[in-house]
A and B are shown apart, each in its own frame.
Chain A
Amino acid sequence: MATHTAPPSEAGVGTAGRLLLEDRIWLLRAMLLMRGIEERAMSLYRQGKVPGSFYDGYGQEAVSAGAAFAMAPEDRLCILHRDLAAHVIRGVSPERILAQYLGRAAGLTQGRDGNVHFGDRHLGCVGMVSMLPDMMLVATGMAMAFKLRGERRCALTWFGDGSTSRGDFHEAMNWAGVQKLPVVFVLENNQYAYSTPLDKQFAVDPIERAAAYGFVGVMVDGNDVEAMFDATRAARERALAGEGPTLIEAQTMRMHGHAAHDDMKYVPTEQVEQWRKRDPIERQEARLRSAGVDVDALRAAVHAEIDVATQDALASPMPDPSTVLDGVFCLGEAEALGDGQAPWSGFSAGRADS
């Protein structure tokens, strides 16, 4: 099976008209919310209000926004720590995200886990663990259940370049290939696993491995949100058509340190400057400006929303220590994941499978 490379799309070329203007605005809004929430959280971290450490996805917003936007309500997602836009698209409010960072009772894990280790089960998402890429197997298992029940839906998960060195990457790719499962693997290649560059991580680009497992691998410009959407939409169609998994390698750059403490002195300045010119938000803004959209008004609305969310999150209570032992075991009935939001107009207009 051939590995092929999709060219970066320009101003909607490549999406074949599947993205209406309202969709393209939605994509920008999701990326702006991600960046805005993370910048606010970083500032709260520096004020000592966010406990632990803080991880962000600055510069990688298109990877999660574009891919999540192609997912239907009944699809299921395992979201990585630099993919906040996926949570936003599925319907998690900025206030709950900020409360999560702040360790508040109103956060998605009610203070039981930190930063982006969350997923709203009511919105079809399973939160990640720190051992990467464990969630590749969970996504594969969800896809296995869909296939054996004959359901037309798929699972998607993100993971990083460092993850490709671990056994679970191989086990998931192999299993999904053997059983031809409706799963989309999004490899978020941000050039560094903590401080480790790609040339110390693998001898062959992981995209080449897709063919070895018997399915399609697609290289995408991960800083182009519409290209990410299109590649994921196509992968989802393949999954639903019974054609099995797809490995999407999104080429992007981690523009900040691994976490807030990391000054990333190990990254050459020129590399960062090169990638800064390819900022995914600026690119989408340029497209929308040329389409006549008032981008400044959108930015202002997003920032106002984050201001209110910040105030509400800061005013919300800390968890009650007397509840700390609760919930280790499920005492009632097991409840399966619920459906998420899926704002792409293609779903409501019935264009998703066209």
Chain B
Amino acid sequence: MPTMTYLQAISSALRDELRSDDRVLLMGEDIGVFGGAFKVTQGFIEEFGAVRVMDTPLAESAIIGTAVGAAVVGMRPVCEMQFSDFISCGFDQLVTVAGKMHYRQGLAVPITIRLPSGGGFSGGPFHSQNPEAWFMHSPGIKVLAPSTAHDAKGLLHAAIHDPNPVCFMEHKHLYRRIKGEVPDGVFETPMTARVARPGSDLVVIAYGAMLHVALEATDDLDGASVEVLDLRSLVPLDRAAILDSVARCSKVVIVDEANMTCAAGAQVAALIAEHGFEDLDGPVVRVATPDVPIPFSPPLEQAVLPSVERIREACRELLAY
């Protein structure tokens, strides 16, 4: 099995889809000749041509809106937002048109929106956000957030095969930092959670880049047996896996890189409060970015993003509860 970076795994999924399905079409700003701002589609235009690897005008609403149109006449568009932050300019087409189409009219909209997300490298307020919760709150849109190279490929295949609009949150900080064995060819990762490390004293629930921070923070935590649950999919949210971990561990720390209020972790906390209360042996603890725009300067950014130290401290306090 070849070893790939997280970024190579995403490229591999896109290449395999373009090779195996004529309906697949990539659309985005600078994805063709330039190969994408992060080089995810480097070399694609040479193999697949400028029609299927489309350099679009700088217009996020149009990228998503035209993708909806192409999808309802039988295409499988995969749109790249150059940075997930720019989805704000395409919000209406995704939430109003794509997300509500099937419920209103029985018309499926098979589009995938790739959203390079997250901070950690001085991207500042407009190149660092984690906007996944905006779409969790909007019916009709699936939201995936892989943390490993394997799942990045498998979930992207699953997204493109899915008949619904899917937001694919790919974390920029993982692109070249994370490597792993990834099967060749088309395969699907299920839209369910995964136990990244089993344990029994406490569970840390995370996704995306925070999964790796959580693993590092709890790798050697005073001998405690710490489970780490990788959500992988936020919509659908794997309620059974979450409640199962809670039942096993009784203590829960939930980590979000997104701003705290109404983040994905807030929904997980609510789910546990409502349906896992009897299994808890301490308060549900959250570690997240406070409700501020993501600042530019390194000491400021590091002061707000959840760190190994903050997670470790939260776990220690809860273990001692």
Contact = CB atoms under 8 A, between A and B. Distances in A.
A137 to B, nearest CB: 3
A155 B69 contact: yes
A175 B66 contact: yes
Contact of B140 (A144, A167, A328): A328
Interface stretch (A123-131, A221-229, A248-256, A279-287): A123-131
B65 A330 contact: no
A329 B140 contact: yes
B73 to A, nearest CB: 5
Interface residues of B, number: 41
A167 B56 CA distance: 16
Given A171-B59, A336-B73, A137 B107 contact: no
Interface in B90-125: 92-93, 96-97, 100-110
Contacts of B51: 148
Contacts of B77: 141
Nearest to B69: A141
Interface in A83-131: 108-109, 112-113, 117-119, 121, 126-127, 129-131
B92 A134 contact: yes
Interface in B195-223: none
A183 to B, nearest CB: 9
A140 B62 contact: yes
Q: Describe B's contact surface by its main secondary structure.
A: helix
A148 to B, nearest CB: 5
Contacts of B74: 145, 336
Given A118-B105, A134-B92, A329-B102, A145 B57 contact: no
A131 B65 contact: no
A171 B108 CA distance: 24
B104 A109 contact: yes
B97 A329 contact: no
Interface of B: 25, 51-52, 56-57, 59, 61-62, 64-75, 77, 92-93, 96-97, 100-110, 139-140, 142, 163-164
A175 B59 contact: yes
Given A131-B96, A327-B102, 5 more contacts: A76-B73, A117-B104, A167-B61, A175-B66, A327-B106
Interface of A: 76, 108-109, 112-113, 117-119, 121, 126-127, 129-131, 134-146, 148, 155, 167-168, 171-172, 174-175, 178, 327-330, 332-337
Contact of B62 (A76, A121, A148, A172): A172
A341 B104 CA distance: 22
Given A127-B105, A140-B65, A334 B70 contact: no
Contacts of B139: 328
A137 B61 CA distance: 8
A168 B108 contact: no
A112 B104 contact: yes
B163 A337 contact: no
25 contacts: A76-B73, A108-B105, A113-B104, A121-B105, A126-B69, A126-B101, A126-B107, A131-B92, A131-B97, A134-B65, A137-B69, A138-B66, A141-B65, A141-B68, A141-B71, A142-B72, A142-B73, A171-B61, A175-B56, A175-B62, A327-B106, A333-B108, A334-B71, A336-B72, A336-B73
Contacts of B71: 141, 334
Question: 9 smallest A-B Cβ distances: which pairs?
Answer: A141-B69, A137-B65, A141-B66, A334-B108, A334-B163, A330-B108, A171-B62, A336-B74, A142-B69
A135 B105 CA distance: 14
Given A129-B100, A134-B97, A171-B61, A144 B66 contact: yes
A68 to B, nearest CB: 18
Nearest to A147: B51
Nearest to A326: B103
A113 B163 CA distance: 21
A308 B119 CA distance: 63
A141 B57 contact: no
Contacts of B68: 137-138, 141
B6 to A, nearest CB: 27
Nearest to B100: A129
Contact of A146 (B62, B73, B101): B73
A41 to B, nearest CB: 19
A134 B69 contact: no
A138 B72 contact: yes
A334 B110 contact: yes
A129 B97 contact: yes
Contacts of A167: 61
B25 A148 contact: yes
Contact of B97 (A118, A138, A171): A138
A330 B163 contact: yes
Contacts of A328: 102-103, 139-140
